[in-house]
Each structure stands twice: as C-alpha cells, then as structure tokens.
Amino acid sequence: MKSLFENIGPFIGGEQEKVQEILQHFDSIAHDAQGVQALAKRLEALDTDEYRQLVQAAIEADEALSKLRSAQKAAVQAFGSAGNEHQQKQKQTASCRLHAHAQKENAEKARAEDGYDADFASEQWEKLLDRLESSFSTIATECRRRSKTADDESRRKAFNGLQKLGGFLNKHNEFLPNEAQEDWRLSRAWLTERVAVLRDTGLREYTARMEDALSTAKNTFRNDVAVALNEHLQWLGDTIDRMNLALRAAPTFTNGERYQFRRHVRPAYAALLKFIKDVAQFGPTDDMFGGAGEMPKEFEDLMREKTVVGAAAIKSPLDDYREFFDFDVEVFREDAVTGAAKHVGWLSKRVGSGSGGEHRAPLYVIAGAAMSSAYRLERGDDTGMRLLVIDEAFIKMDPRNIVATMRYFEELGLQVFMASTGDALGTLTAFLDRYYDIMRDAESNVVVLEGHDISASVREMFRADLPEFHPELVEQEIVRQFLPQNESPEGITA
C-alpha cells in the first residue's frame, strides 16, 4: 500500500487526504455489501411460488400494456382517418347540395322553356317508375339515353327545317336575320311573325282569285297556246332537218368531218313537251278515243316562277319554245373509202382544242343556221332578204373548209356579203358574183374601189378544178400518178 501511495503520490496530492478518501470508499463498499447480504437473506426468506406468480403477473401486465398501447395507436389512427373521411363527406355533401341546387334550377328552366308539356313529362315519369320501380340510378341512365336520342333527333329535324326554310327564302326572295339563321327557335319566331304579317295584309283573300287566274291560264294554254307552240316546234324541227340536209349535201370539211345540228329535250320540261304534242294530236279535250290528259305540274311551276320578284327576265319555254331543248352540233368523220360516218364528238366539248379549221368551220355553220332561222328561209324560196355579212371571212381556213362552207351557204339560200384579205380569192371566185379590190393611194390618201363582175361561165371554170364539185378529178389524178410513163389514162379507161 505504501509503495502504491509512493507511486501515485506525485499525481494525487497529499497522502493523508488520499488515505482518508480511500477509507471512505472502503466503508461505502462494505455498507453496500451488507445491504446486498440483507437483500439476499430477504429473498431467501420470500416464498418461491408467490414470487413466480408476481413475475408472471408482471409479464402479463407488460403484455397487456403493450396491447393497450397498440390499440390506442390504432384508435388514434382510426380517429384521424374518420376525421379526414368526415371532412371529405362534408365537402361531398356540400358539392352534392350545390349540384342538386343547379339541377333544380336546370329543371325549372327546362320546365319554363317554350314547348314544355307538363302532362307529357308526368306521364313519362310515371311510366319510368312503373317499369324501373325505385332504381334511380337505372332511371337516370335511361333518362340520359333518351335525352341523347331526343337531342340527336332534334338536331336532325332542326337541320331539315332550316334547309326547307332556306328554300322558302330563296323562292320568295325573303331575308332572314343573321341571329335567326342558326337557331331554329328564332327562325320559328320570325316565320310565325311573317305569317301573321301576311295574314294581316289580306293576301289570303286573293287566293281564290289566284287559283281562278291559274285555272284560266291552264285552259288558255290547253286550248290555244299549246297548239301554237306545237306549230313552232314543228317549224323548228323542219328547219333543223333542212339545215342538216344542206350540211349532208355540202362537201366534207377538214379531216373528212361533217356536222349535224342536234337538239335534246331538257328533262325538266319533257312532260310539258309531251303534253303539248298530245294536245296537238288528240285535241284539248279528253274523249272516248283518248286525250292529252292532265296538265303537267311543270306548267304550274313555270307560272309561279314568273311571279317571283326579279324573275321576269329569265326565259322559260312559255316565252321561247327553244327553251325546251339543249342544242349542240354533232361531229362526224366520214371514211374516205366506204363513206361511212362515225361519231367523233360534240362541238360543245371541242372548245379549247382542235385546229383552226376545226374551230372556225363549225362557227360558220352555226352562223349560217342562225341567219337561215332568223330569215325563216324555205327550201326553193329565194325571195326576200337573205343577207349574211362576214368580216375577215375565212381567215386561216384551208380551201377545203372554205368550199364546204360556201356550198352550205348556197344550199341554205343565203346571200353572202364578205370582207376578206384576198388570200382565198382563187377559191372564193367559184362562188362570187362580184368582188371589189380596195386600194389606198399613198400620195392622195384616196381609197379606190375597183369592181369585178364574175359570170356564171367563169364560176364554172373555177369550179372545174375543185374536187368538191368534180370528185372524178381525184380518181384521175390517182390513176395518173400510178400509170407508167408510156401509158395514158384514156387507154386504161378504154
């Protein structure tokens, strides 16, 4: 101990103090040991079974406490979840109240709409309850389905109604306000107002007079006008036939083409045209041998169209019998060997294509036909005016087209007065009675006309060289081209 004190003395201070402190610690240790021995004796004195029971009770109490803490934690969590759910339900309840209020307003607004039928709605609701009982979700689904179907049907009918309204506006030249063009309710209100205005004007009182006037017009048309129209239609047919006959008699045009005037009945007027012809054939009244039948509705339509504002200038078959038809020129091509004619097209489809002759020759044909129709020329009748005036005649046309056109004019009986550059004078001399050379003096600026009379013998002389008048010239030239030099055409002919 002394050696120990000597070793630690330099570090812990005075020896007496340290000894006193160590002794105190020894006393404390001894006291504690005595306490331990006392406790051990007390433990030995305790009953072992009782101790074990206490230990077991402590363990069970600890387990129960653990379970209670878990239950408390679960209860706290459940309380929190219930609180959150409660808040959500409150929000949902408030939202449902707002939705229910809005739906109530919508229902009241729907009931206030123009056209709502309370009795019909009540009847449909009772039917739904009888069929689906109290399954409100099923009722709601059925109502949505019916609503969609009704909405689609409403749109379809509104579209059809607006289309028919548009036809009414066009037919009667009425104007619909812009805001009513897309809303059938506004359109209906406008139409109702318009009908009221028309009723207030007293126009309905003139309905009987209008029907009487229409009946009178029908009788007049049946008894008088139809026969006169048929005469004009027959004259038109005869005129077209005569012009086509003249075209067939004329030489072929460029590329062996021939032209024929055609008329096609417009489908919209076919029934009325047939009625006119039947009146001319059977008479205006029906009897045991037949008759023209009822007046076609096309006549009434044409009469009503004439009453539309601004339609007076529009021509109809009642004003001009030519309006029954569409006119065109059919183009044929004649085979050089067999002479058979083959359809190659229509003049109306040729615009914008074809050569110069193919463009100009049909126009001369049409001009000749128009003048012949205007003069009402008849075959073999050369009295009266038959003048056809042409400026810059036959420019850029070949001799074949010129000869064919002039022969056509001759067949129609037209007197042709033309101005031309003179390039085709050699060909035209075969048809002229007189021509003038027009010259201007460069010094005096005086125009001089020098006339030349062409006799019938001169015309025949010029025609003698034209194959259109003497087709045998072509055959003779072919023979001459293929004969040996030492043979003659006369020998072969013989």
Sequence-separated contacts (24+) of 233-238 with Cβ below 8 Å: 233/273, 233/276, 233/277, 233/321, 233/324, 236/263, 236/321, 236/322
Cβ–Cβ < 8 Å for 321, 229: yes
The pLDDT of 2-9, averaged and rounded, is: 57
102 CB-contact burial (10 Å; exposed 0-12 / middle 13-18 / buried 19+) = exposed
Residue that terminates a domain, selected from 66, 86, 113: 66
Pairwise pLDDT comparison (477 vs 98), residue with the higher score:
98
CA–CA dist 354, 401 (Å, integer): 14
In this prediction, residue 493 carries a pLDDT of 45
Residue that terminates a domain, selected from 145, 169, 201: 201
Does 182 fall in a domain? yes
Helix (H, G, I), strand (E, B) or coil at 441: coil
Lowest mean pLDDT among 44-48, 119-123, 169-173, 312-316: 44-48
Do 231 and 314 belong together in one domain?
Answer: yes
Kindly report the three-state secondary structure assignment for every residue of 35-56: HHHHHHHHHHHCCHHHHHHHHH
Does 398 fall in a domain? no
| Domain with 229 in it | 218-350
Mean pLDDT of the residues in the chain: 81
pLDDT in tens, 209-241: 778 877 888 888 888 888 888 999 998 898 888
Cβ–Cβ < 8 Å for 275, 226: yes
Do 236 and 150 belong together in one domain?
Answer: no
In this prediction, residue 262 carries a pLDDT of 92
Does 187 fall in a domain? yes
In this prediction, residue 433 carries a pLDDT of 93
Residue that terminates a domain, selected from 201, 230, 253: 201
CA–CA dist 457, 337 (Å, integer): 32
Amino acid at 206: Y
Kind of pairing between the strands at 341-346 and 325-334: antiparallel
Instruction: Estimate the share of the chain in helix, then strand, then coil, as percent rounded to the nearest 5.
Output: 65, 10, 25
Angle at which helix 136-172 crosses helix 184-201, to 10 degrees, equals 40
In this prediction, residue 47 carries a pLDDT of 58
Does 486 fall in a domain? no
CA–CA dist 339, 332 (Å, integer): 11
Does 285 fall in a domain? yes
What are the distances in angstroms from CA 425 to CA 115, 294, 422?
85, 60, 5
Do 167 and 265 belong together in one domain?
Answer: no
Do 133 and 24 belong together in one domain?
Answer: no
Do 26 and 51 belong together in one domain?
Answer: yes
**Confidence band for 10, pLDDT divided at 50, 70 and 90:** low
- Checking if the pLDDT of 168 tops 70, the result is yes
Share of the chain above pLDDT 70, in %: 87
In this prediction, residue 209 carries a pLDDT of 77
In this prediction, residue 490 carries a pLDDT of 52
- Checking if the pLDDT of 190 tops 80, the result is yes
Does 36 fall in a domain? yes
State the pTM of this model: 0.50
Do 271 and 328 belong together in one domain?
Answer: yes
Write the CB contacts of 365 (distance below 8 Å, at least 6 apart in sequence). Answer: 247, 259, 329, 405, 408
Does 137 fall in a domain? yes
Helix (H, G, I), strand (E, B) or coil at 174: coil
CA–CA dist 28, 205 (Å, integer): 139
Do 283 and 311 belong together in one domain?
Answer: yes
Do 274 and 192 belong together in one domain?
Answer: no
In this prediction, residue 488 carries a pLDDT of 53
Lowest mean pLDDT among 90-99, 378-387, 415-424, 458-467: 378-387
pLDDT in tens, 114-129: 777 888 888 888 887 7
Backbone angles phi, psi at 455, to 5 degrees: -80, 170
Helix (H, G, I), strand (E, B) or coil at 435: strand
310: left (phi over 0), alpha (psi -120 to 50) or beta: left
In this prediction, residue 494 carries a pLDDT of 33
Helix (H, G, I), strand (E, B) or coil at 480: helix
Angle at which helix 15-45 crosses helix 2-12, to 10 degrees, equals 110
Do 312 and 253 belong together in one domain?
Answer: yes
The C-alpha angle 129, 135, 136, rounded to 5 degrees, equals 85
**Confidence band for 492, pLDDT divided at 50, 70 and 90:** very low
CA–CA dist 354, 343 (Å, integer): 16
Do 181 and 272 belong together in one domain?
Answer: no
pLDDT in tens, 336-365: 777 788 898 888 887 655 445 556 788 888
Of the candidates 485, 448, 475, 261, the residue with the CA atom closest to the CA atom of residue 370: 261
DSSP assignment of 271-332: HHHHHHHHHHHH-SS-BTTB---SPPHHHHHHHHHTTSTT-TTS--TTT-GGGGEEEEEEEE
Domain count, the chain: 3
CA–CA dist 158, 166 (Å, integer): 12
200 CB-contact burial (10 Å; exposed 0-12 / middle 13-18 / buried 19+) = exposed
Does 435 fall in a domain? no
CA–CA dist 422, 489 (Å, integer): 36
